[in-house]
Structures are given as structure tokens and as C-alpha cells.
């Protein structure tokens, strides 16, 4: 395979680029957006404010990601909220002849879905300009060949049709990022790499104290791809290269598109490199039929989504890759209804595969979940997954590290989720300064957390906008590997050797959180950074839906919390409030078996909560627990509440304790051990 690829002609881009087309300003004013889509060009600077915090959920809502080819060009920005409206319609961006898209802060936050920039590219967008751009989204753009910039002076140059030196986009970039831009995407760059036209020089970083993350990355640094040489003594922030992966995984949203890229660029009959370290998951859309509206079904979207399942199954079979698939429910009449999946991808990776010190990539922004036992685990896009099947490595520019230390004694009703809601409203994080950086969680309060609770924090590094998050592996990790995997404790402890930050390691900043001062929190609808203490809400917020579970809150320790609150309620003679629909969704079949063994399923049934098999479900607007109108209020223990994330309603984020207590009370309330909340 490699020999045949070495014969292909590959050339870099011209030294100057000319972008011929219109500029689309993504502003927070629906009428201004509508006028642009109708043909009017706005002057720069625009009067309406540019939209900040545009997530990939808004660029391509979850249901759009059922498509995985050039049809995506009809759909960019369909979920974009301007004011109180969603002004972009199907095909309007593509028909408008736009070549450049402009927005404000934190462009491309949220899910790692590469469908977002791919949809933009297929609609004609060749350049994205924003004040700052999230790492995964920016990397996905570069991998596909879309240019990105934070230089707003380019707007008038594009408008004049001026030839712009390619150096405008490559200056200040590292060697590899510069090469990817020059070759118009990652695959062509890797072809040049295989052909010897591009040689990546390993960094010559001198001896220095290193963080835990830097040590792991250094161990995995690829020095010579052809000779399979890996490992260097030291790295520092800014070093750029390729790192060898221990595990690569993808789910049904990404595998089919990657498989199409593989077929088109490599060859349908060629085998991927080391399939034993690759895993596929059918976890995102297993309950879609129960959540999709009749209108969308009539549009044929359910059939499109089911094609993703078939494509992934076929490719897994061809390649000999382990697929954690969909479970078939016993036939009811002549209809076979879905019954969830074996596991959510990153939940299963931590549960059964990840080891301390490993380097893991996945097609989900919450891949850092595995950082709970001291892994470098980060989300990548479709093109990076596809390329990793060929090379087993992935490109990286070593990010700076941020230390978040949570000290003190945690109140009984405060959880790791409350830690994260406090961190997310910290000015350093809220203002985007942690974007693309590695977050190391430490401190006495973190050390006391279980691995499951640590996973809540590393999982939500995605909401921080971080490259990844991790916790130093310790005796809790050893106990976890022994208990969950049956690994001998001595073998598990040996994996921890050298896995700690040096005492004088360099951090860009240190954030101190005092657990003693924390109270149960809630994030207001729209963004996980909208955190408040529940006591600051200023009145009762009635709840229509309580959704507890998915990956962030579907672990064993989360089930312990739900069961504790519900058992107390049953002892008082209380059940889920009659006006509340309560759903509990676990992250894997292993968690379900745990619930069965502990008697939790009976507790959930008795209290009036509906238990759901593993799936991403309502967290991605694809399962029971979604809202169907803007007035519906949901309290949820999931990780993000961007507009439209779980339907059009108002979604509040909270801990498992708070979510369960609110389901009983009928309004948002903190759980207090032994206390009876007043009813509505």
C-alpha cells in the first residue's frame, strides 16, 4: 500500500491565493443575516455584533451529521441562532456565493464533528476568520484545506479579490501545520511525507522539567515513520511533530466519512494499519427513531441516519476492527426496535482499554474522558482518524499546560460536576484563555475523587475548550484497574512509573479552587459557562424533564448518586414529580449490570424514573429526554447545553445529585442529605 502511494503525484499550493466570492458575516441579528443570504453585502465593520461562541452544533446540528458526503454543502449554519431566530435555510449559504465566513470569539467550540467545516467547504467557504478559533475545529479546517485566520484586515483584501500570499496563513505556524496548509490538507501532506518530499525534524528541546502531559507526549513522539522510531527525551510547548497512538476510535458519525476518504484516497481493498488498536462504536444514534420528529422522518432523515450504521458495520467487517455495536431488542410484532448500544465510545475506552501513560485519539470531543487514569486522550476529526489508519500517528503541536488545583474539603452534596461548573465560570476559562491548552487537575479534593468522578472533570475539558484534561494516576487508578479489569495490583502500579509532573514543571497559569467554599451549582441555558450557585437562582425554576446520564453522568458513581437521592425519596413516600419526565441513561452495559447487582433498577422503577440502555441519546438530541418546544425546561447532568443541543427547550446543567433532587421536587433544587424539598 505505501509503495503504491509513493508513486502518486503531489504538489504544494501556489505561493499566492485568490479567493473570489462574497463574505458572510455571522452576526447576532437575524435581519442582517437574512439580507446577506438574499444578496446584500454588508460593509465592514458591521453594525450588528459578530456572533461569539458559535459551536459546531450550530454549524451542523446533530441531524445534519447523518450526511457524510458533499450533500453537507446544503446545510452549514442551519442551527445558528441570531437573536431568537434561526435565519439560515437549507442551501442558502451555497447559493449565496460566499467564499469567506466571519465571526467573533471561540469559533467552532463544542463537538469535534468534522462535518461542520466539511459542510462549509462544500458550500464554497474557503476561509474562516474569527477572533479566536477552537483547536479541533481549526485543525479540522486545516486538514480539509480550509484557510483560517484571526486577522480581520483580510476582509477587505478578500472583498477586492486581491491575491494574498500563502505566507499570511502560514507565518507563525509550526513546521507541520505550515506544511499541511501548503499542501492543501493533511492527506496530501502525509503523501509528501511518505514520498520523502517532506521530512519532519524532531525537536531539539534541551533538558527541562516537564509536566505529566509533556512526559507522555515525549514518550510517543515519532522520530522516523519509515523506521518506526518513537520517543524523545524532552518536549516543550510549541514543539510540533507526530505522535504514535496507542488507541484510535471512532463512532458512526465519523467512521463512514473516514471510510469514504479511505476508499477514495487509499483504496477500498487496502487494510488499515494495526486494526487491533482501532475500535468502532455505534453509540450516538441508537435511539434516534424514538426522538426524531415525524416531519424529519418524512424528509427521509431516519433512512439517511440508518445508512451510517450499515456503512460502519460493513467497513468494520472488511477491516477486522472490533465494533461495539447496537443491541437488538426482541422482536415486537414485526418491528425490531432499538435497544441501545454496548457502550458509549469514550466510556468504554476508559472502562476496558485505556492504560495510564497511553496516548489515545477519538472522533469525539469528549475523548479526554480517559485522562481520569493519566492518559493523553484528545478528540480529532474525520481526516485525522482517516490518516491515522494509514500512519498510526497524529500530528500535534505541544500545547502549554494549565494547572487547576482544587483544594479543601468538599461538602457532601458537591460533586465533580460542581467543580467543573465553577471552573467553567472562572474568568480565565470563560474568556477563552484555556482554549487549546492541556488542563491538569490536581489538589486534595481531586485526589479524593473516584476515577469515575475524575472522568467527569477530564471529560468536560472539552467544555473548557482545552486540548485535553488529565489527572495524575495514583492508588485510585491502581484500584480501578484491579477492580474493573482484574489486573494484578503490582502490574497496574508498574504502569505509573514516571507519570507525575516534575515539582518545578512550567504551567502557563495556576487556577486555585477552594472546595470548602463551593455549593451545588447549575449552568443557565445556552452555555456550560453560565454557572451559578443554585441559591443564586432567585426563584423556583419549574422542571419538565430531568435527564440523568449519557457519558458524563452515566458512570457507576453517578448511578450511586441517583440511587441515593431516590432511595431517600422513597423512604419519605415521594416519587418523581407528576409533571416531570425523568430519564436515567447509563454509559455501558457494564454500568447496567452494576445497577442490576446493586438493586438500582428497581429503585429507579419504583420512584418513577425511566431507565434507558446505553447511548448518547438526548445529549445529542437523539433519544428520549429531548425537548420539542422552546418552553420546555430540562435539568440535566450532561456536559453541555449549547442552543439546540437537546432540543429547542431551556436546558440547565447540574450534578447527578441536583438532577435527581429536582426530578422529585419538580423544580431546580440542591440535594441536601435527609432533607425533604417543598413541592411546587
Q: What is the DSSP letter of 645?
A: B
More confident residue, 135 or 274: 274
Whether residue 470 contacts residue 375, with contact meaning beta carbons closer than 8 Å, is answered with yes
**Does 197 score more than 90 pLDDT?**
no
- Mean pLDDT, range 13-25, rounded to an integer: 96
Tell which residue, 457, 656, 459, has the closest CA to residue 559.
Answer: 656
Segments making up each domain of the chain, as ranges:
20-160, 521-665
**Does 337 score more than 50 pLDDT?**
no
Which pLDDT score, from 0 to 100, does residue 174 have? 83
Cell of 51: 456572533
Strand order in the sheet with 247-251: 322-324, 278-281, 247-251, 359-362, 376-379
pLDDT (tens digit, 9 = 90+) per residue, 600-630?
999 999 999 999 999 988 888 778 899 999 9
Cell of 614: 446505553
pLDDT (tens digit, 9 = 90+) per residue, 385-444?
999 999 899 999 999 999 999 999 999 999 999 999 999 999 999 998 999 999 999 999
Tell which residue, 93, 81, 83, has the closest CA to residue 54.
Answer: 81
Cα–Cα distance between 589 and 585 in angstroms, integer?
11
**CATH label, 20-160, candidates 3.30.70.100, 3.40.50.300, 3.20.19.10, 3.40.50.2000:** 3.20.19.10
In this structure, how many other beta carbons lie within 10 angstroms of the beta carbon of residue 121?
21
* Cα first-last separation, the chain: 66
Calculate the alpha carbon distances from 10 to 15, 191, 228 in Å: 15, 7, 23
Contacts of 566 (CB under 8 A, 6+ apart): 603, 604, 606, 607, 609, 660, 664
**Does 336 score more than 50 pLDDT?**
no
The SS3 of residue 16 is strand
- Mean pLDDT, range 159-175, rounded to an integer: 94
The percentage of residues in the chain with a pLDDT greater than 70, rounded to a whole number, is 97
The percentage of residues in the chain with a pLDDT greater than 90, rounded to a whole number, is 78
**Does 468 score more than 70 pLDDT?**
yes
**Does 149 score more than 50 pLDDT?**
yes
**Does 679 score more than 60 pLDDT?**
no
pLDDT (tens digit, 9 = 90+) per residue, 490-547?
999 999 999 999 999 999 999 999 999 999 999 999 999 999 999 999 889 999 999 9
Cα–Cα distance between 667 and 679 in angstroms, integer?
8
The structure's pTM equals 0.85
Cα–Cα distance between 532 and 129 in angstroms, integer?
32
DSSP 237-295: TT-EEEEE-SEEEEETTTHHHHHHHHHHHT-TTPPPS-GGGEEEE--SSTTHHHHS-HH
Residue with cell 443541543: 645
* Average pLDDT, rounded, for the chain: 93
Cα–Cα distance between 52 and 608 in angstroms, integer?
40
- Mean pLDDT, range 4-11, rounded to an integer: 74
DSSP 166-229: THHHHTT--HHHHHHHHTTSHHHHHHHHHTTS--PPPP-PPS----HHHHHHHHTBEEETTTTE
Cα–Cα distance between 612 and 286 in angstroms, integer?
11
The SS3 of residue 383 is helix
* Exposure string over 32-57, b if 16+ CB within 10 A, otherwise e: bbbebbeeeebeeebebebbbbbbbb
pLDDT band for 170, please (50, 70, 90 cuts): very high
Which pLDDT score, from 0 to 100, does residue 136 have? 82
pLDDT band for 335, please (50, 70, 90 cuts): very low
Contacts of 105 (CB under 8 A, 6+ apart): 52, 53, 130, 131, 132, 432
For residue 45, say if its preceding peptide bond is cis, omega within 30 degrees of 0: yes
Tell which residue, 505, 499, 511, 244, has the closest CA to residue 400.
Answer: 505
Cell of 295: 416531519
Within 13 Å of residue 161, how many CA atoms lie on the same side as its CB?
A: 2
Which pLDDT score, from 0 to 100, does residue 642 have? 86
Which pLDDT score, from 0 to 100, does residue 677 have? 54
The SS3 of residue 163 is strand
CATH class for the domain made up of 521-665: alpha beta
Pairing between β-strand 278-281 and β-strand 229-230 as defined by DSSP bridges:
unpaired
- Mean pLDDT, range 87-98, rounded to an integer: 98
The SS3 of residue 596 is helix
| Structural Rg of the chain based on CA atoms | 24
Whether residue 642 contacts residue 59, with contact meaning beta carbons closer than 8 Å, is answered with no
- Mean pLDDT, range 179-186, rounded to an integer: 94
Cell of 515: 472546595
- Mean pLDDT, range 280-292, rounded to an integer: 87
Whether residue 549 contacts residue 586, with contact meaning beta carbons closer than 8 Å, is answered with yes
Contacts of 504 (CB under 8 A, 6+ apart): 209
More confident residue, 195 or 186: 186
Calculate helix-pair angle for 589-598, 600-607, nearest 10 degrees.
80
Cα–Cα distance between 376 and 357 in angstroms, integer?
7
Tell which residue, 343, 592, 352, has the closest CA to residue 483.
Answer: 352
Tell which residue, 519, 583, 575, has the closest CA to residue 554.
Answer: 583
**Does 330 score more than 60 pLDDT?**
no
pLDDT (tens digit, 9 = 90+) per residue, 209-250?
999 999 999 999 999 887 789 999 999 999 999 999 999 999
* Exposure string over 253-265, b if 16+ CB within 10 A, otherwise e: bbbbbbbbbbeeb
pLDDT (tens digit, 9 = 90+) per residue, 62-79?
888 888 888 999 999 999
Which pLDDT score, from 0 to 100, does residue 331 have? 41
Which pLDDT score, from 0 to 100, does residue 245 have? 98
Which pLDDT score, from 0 to 100, does residue 338 have? 57
Amino acid at each position: 500500500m505505501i509503495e503504491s502511494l509513493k508513486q502518486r503525484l503531489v504538489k504544494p499550493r501556489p505561493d499566492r491565493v485568490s479567493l473570489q466570492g462574497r463574505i458572510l458575516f455571522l452576526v447576532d441579528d437575524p435581519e442582517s443575516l437574512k439580507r446577506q443570504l438574499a444578496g446584500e453585502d454588508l460593509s465592514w465593520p458591521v453594525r450588528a455584533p459578530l456572533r461569539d461562541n458559535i459551536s459546531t452544533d450550530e454549524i451542523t446540528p446533530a441531524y445534519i451529521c447523518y450526511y457524510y458526503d458533499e450533500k453537507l454543502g446544503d446545510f452549514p449554519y442551519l442551527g445558528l441562532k441570531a437573536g431568537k431566530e434561526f435565519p439560515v435555510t437549507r442551501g442558502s449559504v451555497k447559493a449565496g456565493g460566499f467564499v469567506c465566513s466571519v465571526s467573533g470569539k471561540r469559533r467552532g467550540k463544542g463537538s469535534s464533528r468534522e462535518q461542520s467545516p466539511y459542510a462549509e467547504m462544500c458550500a464554497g467557504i474557503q476561509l474562516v476568520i474569527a477572533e479566536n478559533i477552537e483547536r479541533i475545529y481549526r485543525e479540522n479546517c486545516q486538514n480539509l484545506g480550509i484557510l483560517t485566520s484571526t486577522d480581520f484586515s483580510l476582509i477587505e483584501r478578500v472583498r477586492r479579490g486581491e491575491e494574498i500570499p500563502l505566507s499570511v496563513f502560514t507565518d507563525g505556524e509550526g513546521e507541520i501545520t505550515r506544511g499541511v496548509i501548503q499542501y492543501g490538507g493533511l492527506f496530501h501532506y502525509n503523501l509528501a511525507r511518505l514520498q520523502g518530499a517532506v521530512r519532519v525534524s524532531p525537536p531539539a528541546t534541551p533538558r527541562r522539567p516537564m509536566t505529566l502531559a509533556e512526559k507522555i507526549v515525549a514518550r510517543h513522539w515519532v522520530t522516523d515513520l519509515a523506521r518506526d522510531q518513537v520517543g524523545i527525551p524532552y518536549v516543550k510547548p510549541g514543539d510540533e511533530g507526530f505522535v504514535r497512538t496507542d488507541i484510535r476510535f471512532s463512532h458512526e458519525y465519523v467512521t463512514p466519512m473516514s471510510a469514504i476518504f479511505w476508499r477514495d484516497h487509499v483504496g477500498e481493498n487496502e487494510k488499515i494499519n494495526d486494526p487491533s488498536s482501532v475500535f468502532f462504536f455505534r453509540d450516538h444514534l441508537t435511539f434516534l427513531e424514538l426522538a426524531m420528529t415525524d416531519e424529519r422522518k418524512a424528509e427521509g432523515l431516519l433512512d439517511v441516519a440508518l445508512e451510517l450504521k450499515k456503512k460502519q458495520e460493513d467497513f468494520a467487517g472488511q477491516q477486522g476492527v472490533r465494533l461495539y455495536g447496537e443491541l437488538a431488542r426482541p422482536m415486537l410484532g414485526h418491528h425490531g426496535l432499538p435497544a441501545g448500544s454496548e457502550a458509549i465510545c469514550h466510556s468504554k475506552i476508559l472502562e476496558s482499554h485505556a492504560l495510564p501513560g497511553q496516548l489515545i485519539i477519538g472522533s469525539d470531543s469528549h475523548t479526554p474522558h480517559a485522562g481520569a487514569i493519566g492518559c493523553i486522550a484528545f478528540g480529532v476529526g474525520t481526516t485525522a482518524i482517516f490518516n491515522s489508519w494509514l500512519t498510526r500517528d497524529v500530528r500535534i503541536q505541544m500545547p502549554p499546560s494549565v494547572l487547576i488545583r482544587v483544594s479543601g474539603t468538599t461538602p457532601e452534596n458537591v460533586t465533580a460536576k460542581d467543580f467543573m461548573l465553577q471552573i467553567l465560570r472562572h474568568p480565565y476559562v470563560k474568556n477563552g484563555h484555556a482554549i487549546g491548552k492541556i488542563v491538569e487537575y490536581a489538589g486534595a479534593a481531586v485526589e479524593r475523587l473516584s476515577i469515575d468522578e475524575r472522568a467527569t472533570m477530564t471529560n468536560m475539558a472539552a467544555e473548557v475548550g482545552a486540548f485535553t484534561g488529565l489527572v495524575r494516576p495514583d492508588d485510585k487508578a491502581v484500584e480501578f484497574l484491579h477492580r474493573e479489569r482484574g489486573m494484578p495490583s503490582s502490574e497496574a502500579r508498574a504502569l505509573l512509573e514516571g507519570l507525575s509532573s516534575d515539582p518545578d514543571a512550567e504551567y502557563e497559569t495556576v487556577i486555585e479552587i477552594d472546595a470548602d467554599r463551593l455549593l451545588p451549582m447549575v449552568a443557565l441555558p445556552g452555555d456550560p459557562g453560565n454557572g451559578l450557585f443554585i441559591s443564586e437562582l432567585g426563584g423556583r425554576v419549574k422542571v419538565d424533564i430531568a435527564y440523568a446520564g449519557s457519558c458524563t453522568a452515566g458512570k457507576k458513581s453517578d448511578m450511586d448518586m441517583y440511587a441515593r437521592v431516590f432511595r431517600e425519596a422513597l423512604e419519605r413516600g415521594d416519587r418523581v414529580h407528576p409533571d416531570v419526565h425523568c430519564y436515567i441513561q447509563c454509559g455501558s452495559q457494564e454500568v447496567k449490570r452494576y445497577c442490576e447487582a446493586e438493586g438500582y433498577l428497581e429503585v429507579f422503577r419504583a420512584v418513577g424514573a425511566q431507565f434507558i440502555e446505553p447511548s448518547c441519546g438526548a445529549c445529542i438530541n437523539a433519544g428520549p429526554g429531548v425537548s420539542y418546544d422552546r418552553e420546555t425546561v430540562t435539568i440535566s447532568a450532561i456536559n453541555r447545553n449549547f442552543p439546540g443541543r437537546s432540543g429547542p427547550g431551556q436546558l440547565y446543567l447540574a450534578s447527578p445529585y441536583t438532577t435527581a433532587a429536582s426530578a422529585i421536587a419538580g423544580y431546580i433544587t440542591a440535594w441536601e442529605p435527609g432533607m425533604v424539598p417543598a413541592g411546587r
